[in-house]
Structure 1
Amino acid sequence: MTDGTGREHPEKFPRIFLVVLDESAELGVALKYASYRARNSGGRVALLVVTESADFQHWMAVEDIMREERRTEAEQILQRHARVVNELTGKMPGLYVREGNRREELLRLIEEEPSISILVLGAGTGPEGPGPLVSYLTGKGVSKLSIPLTVVPGTLTEEQLLVVT
């Protein structure tokens, strides 16, 4: 059985809602939306954090230290948000850490993990727009997605989230 995108998605496997972690204000709304949807549908949440690569190839020891620091910080971010997901769903989320370009690593993860069913992103509400990832994936990058994208308005209240999920 496929999930409508041509990807294998047997009924016995839960729907996986992937949330990309960053430090934006709208992340909280996207995380809650994905958690409520997962809880209400018997699905699960997966969390992705992508660390940027440094270019200190002349000083490999410095690059290794910086990479380790970024990895430690990413794991702390994952654990903090995983606690929230666990509280809201009663299940620990899948955790992914990648290094590189956020767009490229996100698309690569989606292709590598056929269990991921839906990408959930929060849209920024400020004058700078919805955010670079949302802008890319609803514009030029939409053709590169092989799963549905849910963009959650960053202004939704807790009450609104509970109604729409």
Structure 2
Amino acid sequence: MRKFLVMLDDSRESLNAMRFAAMRASNSGGAVTVLAVIPPNEIQHGFGVAEVMRAEAYERIEAHFEVFAKWMRMRPKVEPELVIREGDPAEQLLAHLNDDPEVGIVAIGLNSDKSVQNPLLTRLLRDAATLPCPITLVPADISKERLEAIT
């Protein structure tokens, strides 16, 4: 079974990447793994604060994931898997690719604002020749109808 890996964040481009991954998985008999990464700056250390912040971050991610998971279960009929890691998002994505050899494609959403940098994509492209799978770039402005047509 081929897994499509997609990053979960609050961006519009993440939404289209999720749609693409779910529709492709549904049409090809694959699965979707949703990777959420908690950056180190979201968890402050000291006096028990870190554990409270970590728990809140996990709860926020799980609630956000459930919105997408509900749609995936109903529409393309895919049961997504959630993986939560802590650290630098690019490093954690690369680590997950090494940990899960079933990942066949990474779907990355592209922001339509050319002035916005995407450090995750920059890092993946730097290491593209050594990645264990291809990267699919999904434009933020692509319509749902177009996504359905190409998946």
The TM-score normalised by the length of structure 2 is 0.90
Instruction: Identify if the C-alpha distance between structure 1 residues 127 and 38 changes in structure 2 by more than 3 Å, giving closer, same or farther.
Output: same
RMSD: 1.7
Query: 5+ unaligned residues in a row in structure 2: which ranges?
Result: none
AA aligned to 1:115 is E
Instruction: Identify if the C-alpha distance between structure 1 residues 144 and 72 changes in structure 2 by more than 3 Å, giving closer, same or farther.
Output: farther
Partner of residue 111, structure 2: 124
Q: Pick from 14, 22, 26: which aligns with 1:27?
A: 14
Partner of residue 141, structure 1: 127
Which SS does the other structure have where 2:78 is aligned? Answer: coil
The question of 1:161 aligning with 2:147 is answered yes
Instruction: Identify if the C-alpha distance between structure 1 residues 61 and 17 changes in structure 2 by more than 3 Å, giving closer, same or farther.
Output: same
Partner of residue 16, structure 1: 3
Contact 2:38 2:85 survives alignment (8 Å): yes
| CA deviation vs aligned residue, 1:72-96 (integer Å, no higher than 9, x gap) | 1111122222112212321311110
* Structure label with greater radius of gyration: 1
Which piece of structure 1 moves more, 112-121 or 73-82?
73-82
| CA deviation vs aligned residue, 1:50-80 (integer Å, no higher than 9, x gap) | 01124644x2411111111111111112222
- Over the matched positions of the two proteins, sequence identity in percent amounts to 31
| Aligned mates of 2:5, 2:39 — CA distance in 1 | 19
What is the Cα deviation at residue 160 of structure 1?
1.0
Moved over 3 A (4+): 54-57
What is the Cα deviation at residue 105 of structure 1?
0.7
Partner of residue 151, structure 1: 137
Contact 1:16 1:38 survives alignment (8 Å): yes
| Aligned mates of 1:87, 1:66 — CA distance in 2 | 32
Partner of residue 29, structure 2: 42
Which SS does the other structure have where 1:117 is aligned? Answer: strand
Q: Pick from 100, 105, 115: which aligns with 2:87?
A: 100
What is the Cα deviation at residue 144 of structure 1?
4.4
Which SS does the other structure have where 1:26 is aligned? Answer: helix
| CA deviation vs aligned residue, 1:15-57 (integer Å, no higher than 9, x gap) | 1111101111111211111111111111111101101124644
Query: How many residues end up aligned between the 2 structures?
Result: 150
AA aligned to 2:27 is N
Matches of residues 57-72 of structure 1 in structure 2 within 5 Å? 57=45, 59-72=46-59
Instruction: Identify if the C-alpha distance between structure 1 residues 118 and 68 changes in structure 2 by more than 3 Å, giving closer, same or farther.
Output: same
More helix, by proportion = 2
